[in-house]
Amino acid sequence: MSWVRLYLTVEGETELRFAKNTLTPHLTKFEVEVRPRMILTNRKLGTRGGAPGFHRFKRDTAHLMKDDANKEARFSTMIDLYALPADYPGWKEAEKKSKPFDRVLELEKALATELGDSRFIPFLQLHEFEALLFCDLKQIQSRIEDSGQAIAQLRHEVAGFNCPEDINEGETSAPSKRLIHHLPRYEKLKVRVGAPAADAIGLPTLREKCPHFGRWLTRLEKLKETL
């Protein structure tokens, strides 16, 4: 029986590197071939990266699903909830939910409905990729010199959150904004540092400490069973 081909649309270069270096070898064990790609933000110019408006995202994804209409093809996303454009479906209902986990599920459900293809598996990261790094901040510390004091301050700042996915999405309080506030060098080093740090933390820890990410990963591991 054929392997599953998983087309994974990611938001930026950090997620792309994480998909290639961490998710791809892991999912190979489950006979899932990951084909990561950054979001196409301008078809005419061929530019990729960032979170485009929903119309552009839907058109790009529909083209992709049409190009591979085979039953063994699957399609998923790794897009940040933080700064997700307001034209994405489901916001009205999601805003009624008090818990971030419930809000993101509402948005993912609406996204799946709009795409209208059972092969599509939406995933929005609570609240952005950098949340994964808060599972073990020493991996950032080990990759950026003289960052011990900044990391200690950061740990103290987020100590009240139950899990990294609870760190909120404010303009100054989102995971990446907190990192950059305490460690400005991270902004220029995020691609070089962020993905390797997440890889070093390891999928078992990421799965345990970030349950929404963990549910998505488990679903990807079981894709072969859906053929």
CA gap 31, 4 in Å, rounded: 6
CA gap 113, 101 in Å, rounded: 19
Tokens of 40: 């196409």
Of 95, 152, 165, which is closest to residue 124 (Cα–Cα)? 165
Using the 8-state DSSP alphabet, how is residue 2 labeled?
P
The alpha carbon torsion through 150, 151, 152, 154 (nearest 10 deg) reads: 90
Residues 6+ apart with CB under 8 A from 113: 89
CA gap 88, 165 in Å, rounded: 21
Phi, psi of 158 (to 5 degrees): -105, 10
Radius of gyration of the chain (CA): 17
Of 86, 85, 124, which is closest to residue 102 (Cα–Cα)? 124
The secondary structure element, H or E, covering residue 6 is strand 4-10
pLDDT per residue, tens digit, the chain (227 aa), is 699 999 999 999 999 999 999 999 999 999 999 999 997 665 554 555 566 789 989 998 999 999 999 999 999 999 999 989 999 999 999 999 999 999 999 999 999 999 999 999 999 999 999 999 999 999 999 999 999 999 999 999 999 999 999 998 678 899 999 999 999 999 999 999 999 999 999 999 999 999 999 999 999 999 999 99
pLDDT given at position 171? 84
Q: CB count, 10 Å around CB of 43?
A: 11
